[in-house]
Structure 1
């Protein structure tokens, strides 16, 4: 059966939050492990869903992963400018990787962005080591925008997030 992409429902928030947190932890993307300040944000799906669109990927009723789609600048946007949508917190459970869930989630965000009146681009931030995600973005036509690379917590971490953009 194919992967189904749909809005997350509140009954899935805890599971999706844990999938997201574990994806970042298992991939070594959080500097402080379980004590990382960003971990609570990754687990707080209800907060994200209140201010943006949270989508999930399922196959045969099993939750494989999710993504936060931010249709315009606002409280959940990190780098989106006017006329841009943003993709955040893309995560796929280890057991679901390599099956197209990540790409399906990104494609769904691009489709949603095309439906947002006045939206001209989709942007996102990613860590240097997220090579599988970079391959997805590039395959779908996203291009690097190094002039927009940034550090989300310069006072705490020496980390530069890479940015990508897809012009619609």
Structure 2
């Protein structure tokens, strides 16, 4: 079945938020499990959709995953600067992995970035352990940019996020 990428509908926000939260929890990407404050951010799709574009991957009636596309900076941007768009919170339901949804979401973000006037780069941050995601990014032409690596929690030494960028 074909995967379709489109904007998330408000009725899907809860499902997208739970897919995102569970993906991060099940992959061990949250330091404090259910008590991690970032978990609230992952689940709050309505907040993200008010400040950026939340895209979903669907196959028929099945919601496979989602991503937040941040055009031209804005309140949802972590590392995007002038002339850059950013990918945030990419997640695919564990049962849907390996079907191409993650790659389709990243491709959609790249296509969307190319439509943003003045956008010359698409950037993202990822955790060291997200090896499957790294392979998708590299296959699609993203390159590591270590000079942009950063730590969202400076008080915790071992949380350095790796930066990637795609020149459009």
Corresponding position of 2:60: 60
Corresponding position of 2:76: 76
Distance 1:67 1:151 in 2: 21
Corresponding position of 1:126: 126
Corresponding position of 2:15: 15
Q: Secondary structure at the match of 2:86?
A: strand
Shift of 1:39: 0.3
Distance 2:57 2:92 in 1: 8
Shift of 1:74: 1.1
Shift of 1:158: 3.1
Corresponding position of 2:149: 149
Corresponding position of 2:46: 46
The change in CA–CA distance for 1:157 and 1:40 in structure 2 (over 3 A counts) is: farther
Q: Which runs of 5+ in 1 are unaligned?
A: none
1:167 maps to 2:159: no
Corresponding position of 1:90: 90
Matches within 5 A, 1:102-141: 102-141=102-141
Distance 1:17 1:8 in 2: 11
The change in CA–CA distance for 1:157 and 1:30 in structure 2 (over 3 A counts) is: farther
Corresponding position of 2:24: 24
Q: Secondary structure at the match of 2:118?
A: coil
Shift of 1:156: 4.6
Distance 1:93 1:33 in 2: 18
Q: Which runs of 5+ in 2 are unaligned?
A: none
Question: Moved runs in structure 1, 4+ residues, more than 3 A?
Answer: none
Distance 2:72 2:23 in 1: 26
Distance 2:44 2:147 in 1: 30
Shift of 1:157: 5.7
Give the number of equivalent residue pairs.
Answer: 168
Distance 2:60 2:124 in 1: 29
TM-score in terms of structure 2 length: 0.98
